[in-house]
Amino acid sequence: MPHHCTSPNSRSSAPATSRHAVRSRSRRAKFAALLALLPLLAGCQLWNGWLEALKWRDLDTNKPVQGPAVALDPNIKPLPGTNSSTAVALIPRVTVFRITVPVGAFSTNDKIWSQLNEDAIDSKTAVLMAQNGLRAATGVLTRWPAIAGMLDAPGAMSDQIVYQTDGHASINVVTRPNVAEQIVVSIDRDLQQQGREFERCDNGFRLSMQGIRNKPQLQVQLEPVVTLGTVAMERPGLGVTRTGFTSEESFEDLRMAATLTADQFLVVAAMDPKTSPFSVGTQWLSDHDKAPATETVLVFVPTPNTPAKPK
């Protein structure tokens, strides 16, 4: 049977005596209680903690690679004897690594962040991201081995996928699929807080890429989105297959961008999942249902085409 994601504005009603109705009332009561606490959260946890830290789609590869978090594929580095920087400028193409580590292993590790450049993100955007539990920076590929060594812990793993666009369309990078239910508290550019509740949805980032004219650079842009209306269908021999989406809700104020060269990467992580449980960063990039809890780190690496082998 197909099922659809619902948002606060599209939840269907049910008989008051049903189990679903009782569960919905309980969720709404929790949601109302959270909204009542928002001013208190803003005065202590949200502000004090975060401000300090200051379709044309061409999916080139879809091969998840399980392994330690240190395993950035050496094939994505500039190849000797090739003008990979020019390739980056012409082809909007990145390899996205989703690295899973215990909560706090990356997000609150000052030794790691000291190896990165947080000034690469616009300062106003960076402050707003921090208020919403997100943190981003750029780094140099040659420094990655040192960073990876700090992440080499039991349970650390990664997968990777290559994304390519025509430079105009966008692609969704899913970070938490099939979220049963969640409450998200966000802060916009007017410093207004908003609480939203979602059910049966996918959290992710809308990825856009564009080469810089006459420069060996690639601009990467990310925007948090919630995908609504996931459809699951039973197909003989294939099991349950997700077949499409009906709508998205985005967080436009949290749109971030960075310009990368061929030897750089962009990293996006949660600010501190332990102290901001309802923030965008925590809901998008951590999983507290696991024991122990984990966080996801996204690493975007410009990826030139591999030259064809001579015959």
pLDDT for the residue 304: 77
Contact 61, 305 (CB under 8 A): no
Say how many residues make up the chain. 311
**Domain-located, residue 189:** yes
Structural domains counted in the chain: 1
Q: How many CB atoms lie within 10 A of CB 145?
A: 10
- In 91-173, which ranges are continuous DSSP H helix? 110-113, 123-131, 144-151
pLDDT of residue 238: 60
Q: Is residue 307 part of a domain?
A: no
Give dist(CA 279, CA 134) in Å, integer. Answer: 8
Distances (CA, A) of 21 to 18, 180, 195: 5, 16, 21
- pLDDT tens-digit readout, 144-167: 989 988 888 777 888 899 998 877
Is residue 9 included in any domain, yes or no?
no
Q: Which domain holds residue 236?
A: 19-302
3 inside domain: no
Look at residue 42 and tell me if it is in a domain: yes
pLDDT tens for 267-310 read: 999 999 888 899 999 999 998 877 788 999 999 999 876 555 55
Give the tens place of pLDDT for each residue, 81-114.
334 454 544 578 899 999 999 999 999 999 999 9
Q: Considering the domain boundaries, does residue 172 fall inside one?
A: yes
Residue 4 lies in a domain: no
The answer to whether residue 10 is domain-embedded is no
Q: What percentage of the chain has pLDDT greater than the value 90?
A: 41
pLDDT of residue 223: 97
Contact residues for 44 (Cβ-Cβ < 8 A; gap 6+): none
38 has a pLDDT exceeding 90: no
Mean pLDDT of the chain: 74
SS3 content of the chain, % helix, strand, coil (to 5): 25, 35, 35
